[in-house]
């Protein structure tokens, strides 16, 4: 049994244990009652917002590629992005959606360094926008958490995120003797492209704003679902409390954030009086809608002439990494 298989089993086990632990402590009958009372129009609106989430991600990737000098037609960017979502959400593979996007962009004509760096920098901008957004909302968050010690975490994460981006942009300053290594040259290309994205005000503003819009859109989708189930939470509560939940799910310790997201949602919404069963149902429904709205990527994947196999992606990334 390979290391990646073991890691997948560990993540799957952690997700299952976390969900079981949360479910064992709530009123399951009450949770099911909330699901049954979900207003169909609110469910449809939430689904539309999560589809918009994929489109916003494709726009952010397009902005990042444009900043680093990579050009792909918009229909391909949109299709490849949804294929990436499909791999991230649905397939229990060791190869996630990001390498598949890299592979597809490379096969579509992008230089390999632009295909890799465009995806990596898009992901960096998304996480950076998230920590900056959470920090900017710190006063409103403090009002809801009442001085909880966890408040100190978010400014520190923002500082760490900015410091990490700065370090990334200096990776091509390594000693010349090290540049004979292919990995070091690749990191140098990443640093140069990172400066094109984050040190040019127009590019930085565009990618970070698109990231913040994605997080705000997801927060509003949660509020729409809550309203559909008659859960008492305001739009501002969701704008303040859902981004920290999203931040928790970026930790690569579970399968697609399952379990971690549920625990974080129950904790966060509990500060504004949402019952545990309501928060758990919201989180599970959010995860299921994320899977459902990734299915267009699966359709695109099946309809395109070229089939992307996990082995092909791994072989390409190992053999031709800059």
From first to last of its 322 residues, the chain has per-residue pLDDT tens of 667 677 777 777 877 887 777 777 777 777 777 788 888 999 999 999 999 999 999 999 999 999 999 889 999 999 999 999 998 887 655 457 888 899 999 999 899 989 999 999 999 999 999 988 988 888 888 887 776 666 677 778 788 888 988 998 988 887 776 667 777 778 888 999 999 999 999 999 999 999 999 999 999 999 999 999 988 899 999 999 998 888 888 877 777 778 888 888 998 898 888 988 889 889 999 999 999 999 999 898 888 755 555 455 555 555 444 4
Non-local CB neighbours of 193 within 8 Å, separated by 6+ positions: 67, 68, 113, 114, 117, 118, 121
- Give pLDDT, residue 121: 95
Q: Are 233 and 272 contacting, i.e. CB atoms less than 8 angstroms apart?
A: yes
Q: What domain range includes position 127? A: 3-319
Q: Are 223 and 279 in contact (CB under 8 A)?
A: no
At residue 47, the pLDDT reads 96
Within a 10 A sphere around the Cβ of 315, how many other Cβ atoms?
12
pTM (2 d.p.):
0.86
pLDDT of 118 reads: 95
- In this predicted structure, what is the pLDDT of residue 249? 84
pLDDT of residue 226: 93
What's the gap between Cα 82 and its chain centre? 13
Name the domain count of the chain: 1
Distance CA 192, CA 111 (A): 15
């Amino acid at each position: 049994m390979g290391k990646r298989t073991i890691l997948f089993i560990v993540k799957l086990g952690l997700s299952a244990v976390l969900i079981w632990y949360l479910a064992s402590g709530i009123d399951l009958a009450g949770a099911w009652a909330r699901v049954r009372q979900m207003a169909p129009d609110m469910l449809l609106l939430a689904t539309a917002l999560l589809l918009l989430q994929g489109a916003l991600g494709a726009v952010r990737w397009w902005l990042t590629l444009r900043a680093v000098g990579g050009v792909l037609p918009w229909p391909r960017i949109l299709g490849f992005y949804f294929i990436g979502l499909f791999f991230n959400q649905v397939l229990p593979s060791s190869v996630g959606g990001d390498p598949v996007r890299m592979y597809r962009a490379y096969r579509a004509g992008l230089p390999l360094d632009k295909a890799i760096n465009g995806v990596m920098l898009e992901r960096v901008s998304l996480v950076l926008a998230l920590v900056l957004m959470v920090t900017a909302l710190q006063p409103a968050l403090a009002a809801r958490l009442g001085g909880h010690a966890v408040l100190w975490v978010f400014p520190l994460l923002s500082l760490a995120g900015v410091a990490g981006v700065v370090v990334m942009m200096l990776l091509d300053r390594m000693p010349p003797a090290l540049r004979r290594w292919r990995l070091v040259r690749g990191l140098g290309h990443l640093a140069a492209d990172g400066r094109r994205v984050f040190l040019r005000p127009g590019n930085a503003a565009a990618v970070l704003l698109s990231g913040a819009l994605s997080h705000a859109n997801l927060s509003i989708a949660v509020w729409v679902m809550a309203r559909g189930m008659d859960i008492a939470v305001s739009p501002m509560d969701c704008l303040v409390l859902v981004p920290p939940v999203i931040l928790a799910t970026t930790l690569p310790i579970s399968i697609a954030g399952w379990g971690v997201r549920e625990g974080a949602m129950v904790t966060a919404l509990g500060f504004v009086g949402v019952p545990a069963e309501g928060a758990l149902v919201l989180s599970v429904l959010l995860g299921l809608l994320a899977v459902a709205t990734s299915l267009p990527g699966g359709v695109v994947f099946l309809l395109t002439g070229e089939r992307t196999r996990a082995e092909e992606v791994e072989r390409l990334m190992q053999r031709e990494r800059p």
